[in-house]
Amino acid sequence: MSAIANIKTIAKRELSGYFASPVAYVFIVIFLLMIGFFTFMAGGFFERGEASLISFFLWHPWLYLFLVPAVGMRLWSEERRSGTMELLLTMPITAWQAIVGKFVASWIFLALALFLTFPVVITVNYLGDADMGPIFCGYIGSLLLAGGYLAISCMTSAMTRNQVVSFIVSVVICLLMILAGWPPVTNMFVQWAAPWLVNIVAGFSVMPHFEGFHRGVLDSRDIIFFLSIIGFSLFGTSVIIRSHRAG
């Protein structure tokens, strides 16, 4: 069986597992309710007086901070807790194929939840003549951001059998990646660290790279940034899983 076929088999198994329980539906409902509240109430959608979704995309890094780790925390923790990880890894597939398959399934699930926000797009077009370019770019950036958070959650999930521990660790890591470029944080670092070191730390922040997308800019550097996070985190996951297999 080819590698692609193995990945598709794992992804299909994982994706069907989401919808086999009410958890997936509860997550989608909570996500849509929260994104609606933060867009129209906290984000001042109507007060802005412009046909744009800035108030919609503005909250995604913070919403994903908790919602994405909630999706990713079970990826490997549940397999380790139930003892099925050993069974999975004895199947005629490589660890890397299992990792990619699980990640792709969860990313598709998040993409589905994001797609279900289409009424917001319909609303902004109904109320005014919206520029679909920034909206389209914003959705791409949001999906890449979710993928980055998810890959980190996948790595932390492989570290422990406890889903709560995996959730907390991934939230902390993702939060650090938000705050790394936050001016109050960088200003604090400037007081005792060299400027070049501060710039390196700030370069790991997801915020500057995400902001370009919802402004309508598809910069290859921003795309490479998020793909690098995904690649590095999945590589870290493979190292952790291989160490479990060796043990």
Task: Read off the pLDDT of residues 93-109 as tens digits, 9 standing for 90 and up.
Answer: 788 888 899 999 999 99
Global confidence as pTM: 0.88
Q: What is the pLDDT of residue 183?
A: 72
Buried b (16+ CB within 10 A) or exposed e, 79-111: bbeeeebeebbeeebebbbbbbbbbbbbbebbe
pLDDT band at 171 (very low <50, low <70, confident <90, very high): very high
Q: What is the pLDDT of residue 18?
A: 83
Residue 201 has pLDDT above 70, yes or no: yes
Q: Which residue has the higher pLDDT, 214 or 46?
A: 214
- For the chain, what is the domain count? 1
Tell me, what's the pLDDT at 95?
A: 81
**Average pLDDT estimate for 189-207:** 73
For a pLDDT cut of 90, what percent of the chain falls above it? 34
Please say whether the beta carbons of 7 and 104 come within 8 A: yes
pLDDT over 60 at 7, yes or no: yes
Q: What is the pLDDT of residue 155?
A: 92
CB contact set of 89 (below 8 Å; sequence gap of 6+) = 95, 98, 241, 245
Q: What is the mean pLDDT of residues 8-18?
A: 87
Residues 6+ apart with CB under 8 A from 71: 27, 106, 109, 110, 150, 153
Please give the radius of gyration of the chain, using alpha carbons only, rounded to the nearest integer.
19
Q: Over the chain, what is the mean pLDDT?
A: 84
- Structure tokens, 75: 């990826």
**Angle (CA) 78 163 11, round 5°:** 45
Domain span at 146: 3-246
**Mean local confidence (pLDDT), 83-87:** 63
Provide the token pair at 142. Answer: 């949001």
**Contact by Cβ (8 Å): 110, 146:** yes
Give the residue from 82, 68, 97 showing the smallest Cα distance to 166: 68
Residue 151 tokens, joined: 């890959």
- pLDDT of residue 65 exceeding 80, the answer is yes
Report which of residues 113 and 79 the model is more confident about.
113
Task: Report the pLDDT value the prediction gives residue 85, as an integer from 0 to 100.
Answer: 65
pLDDT for the residue 227: 95
